[in-house]
């Protein structure tokens, strides 16, 4: 699961958010920042989540940028503490 902030064209923020909500596995949430909304993307693997973000979300009309801010891996094969903070805000 990845949490991200989406910067969108302010003039069509609502429309951009509605288009994002049509993407399977993606939920949006409010941010107290003008021209932005948040998303949570869930999938069976980090590659699947990446495909949703890079393959669909970043290409939506009105999206100016997507900034991942959190990562949660629910996989017993990943040792505790294996996921560390990385440049770009993913942790």
Express each pLDDT in 4-23 by its tens digit.
999 999 999 999 999 999 99
Among the residue ranges 16-25, 35-44, 61-70, 76-85, the one predicted with the least confidence is 76-85
Question: Is the sign of the CA dihedral 66, 72, 76, 81 positive or negative?
Answer: positive
pLDDT at 56 over 70: yes
Q: Domains in the chain and their CATH numbers? A: 2-71 (3.30.70.920)
What are the pLDDT digits (tens) for 37-50? 999 999 999 999 99
Q: Give the mean pLDDT of 58-78.
A: 87
Q: Which residues have C-beta within 8 Å of that of residue 1, sequence separation ≥ 6? A: 40, 41, 42, 43, 49, 71, 72, 73, 74
Tokens of 76: 């017993």
- Chain centre to alpha carbon of residue 81: 22
């Amino acid at each position: 699961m990845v949490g991200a902030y989406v910067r969108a064209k302010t003039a069509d923020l609502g429309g951009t958010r509605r288009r994002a909500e049509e993407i399977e596995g993606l939920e949006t949430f409010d941010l107290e920042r003008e021209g932005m909304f948040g998303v949570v993307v869930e999938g069976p693997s980090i590659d699947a989540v990446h495909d949703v973000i890079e393959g669909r979300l970043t290409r939506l009309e009105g999206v100016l940028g997507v900034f991942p801010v959190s990562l949660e891996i629910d996989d017993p094969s990943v040792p505790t503490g294996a996921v560390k903070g990385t440049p770009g805000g993913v942790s």
